[in-house]
Amino acid sequence: MKTEGCRERRESLGAYALGQLPADERAGLEAHLEGCPDCRAELMELEPVARVMPLADPERIGAASAPPPDLGDRIAARIAGERRGRRRRRRLRLGLALSGATAAAAAAALAIFVLAGGPSAGPEQRVSFSSLPPGVEIAATLEPRTYGTEVHMYVEGIRSGTLCRVVLRGPHGVRLPAGTFRYRYGAEEAVLSAALDLSQTRSVVVHVGRRAFVAPVESQPSA
């Protein structure tokens, strides 16, 4: 049965749970708790809250923080970009799968793509990197430009923030830098360029952190 006294006691339970009750009041309340299961149950409700209170930093309570106002737009832009990147990569994987097939099968498939106006129709060259660690995906497409070659890099599975450096190798030990980029989680392709004609490009080297991966470039059929 709840009495008026019980209600008054109950309002002391907060102070009691937080260890703020003076000794004399504490003794009285503890005597009451002995014989009052309702108040004991109420105390058990408050104790877990009292236990985590010391974790909070009172200086931070007043400072509600808000994300920058344009973050939502930037995320939406990244998602839209990644959706485009996915389509590109799907085409790229198709190309990579092709390069692994037997010559005859590849030729047959190529014929189909050309007939269908598929991904092999453009002048771009896909290259694949071998000896990649498990979970890491690196691929590139090279596009001929009047100033040289445009390099589209696709990277997945490496640590966000890793510095990547791309170099194109030509004949007779020619090496021309295509530039650097920093991989970010979920980033879409990085577009770089080098002053080396695609027809002269023999291989693409990408330095990822301290490791380097090489992809050979097949000689252009028509160039």
Partner 1 sequence: MPPGTLTRERDVREAYAAHAGELYGFALRSLGDAGLAEEAVQETFLRAWRAGERFDPELGSLRTWLFAILRNVAIDLSRARAARPGLAEGGTEPSVEPLEEALLAWQVEEAMRRIGEQHRRVLVETYYRGRPYAEVAAELGVPEGTVKSRVYYGLRALKVALEEIGYED
Q: Which residues bind partner 1 (CB under 8 A)?
A: 10-15, 17-18, 20, 45-46, 48-53, 55-58, 60-61, 64-68, 71-72, 74-76, 78-80, 82-83, 159-161, 184-186
Kindly report the number of other CB atoms within 10 A of residue 38's CB atom. Answer: 13
**Closest distance between partner 1 and the C-beta of residue 134, in Å?**
18
Q: Both tokens of residue 214?
A: 């090489």
Tokens 């002391």 locate to: 12
State which residue, 68 or 221, has the beta carbon closest to partner 1.
68
State which residue, 8 or 218, has the beta carbon closest to partner 1.
8
Name 169's bridge partners. 175, 203
Q: Are 43 and 16 in contact (CB under 8 A)?
A: yes
Tokens 């973050």 locate to: 71
**Closest distance between partner 1 and the C-beta of residue 146, in Å?**
36
SS3 (DSSP) at 25:
helix
Give the helix ranges, DSSP H, for the chain. Answer: 4-10, 13-17, 23-35, 37-52, 58-61, 71-100, 103-116
SS3 (DSSP) at 177:
strand
The Cα 131–Cα 77 span in angstroms is: 33
**Closest distance between partner 1 and the C-beta of residue 215, in Å?**
26
Q: Both tokens of residue 140?
A: 């590139």
**Closest distance between partner 1 and the C-beta of residue 20, in Å?**
6
Kindly report the number of other CB atoms within 10 A of residue 44's CB atom. Answer: 10
**Closest distance between partner 1 and the C-beta of residue 68, in Å?**
7
Kindly state the greatest CA–CA separation across the chain: 98
State which residue, 45 or 218, has the beta carbon closest to partner 1.
45
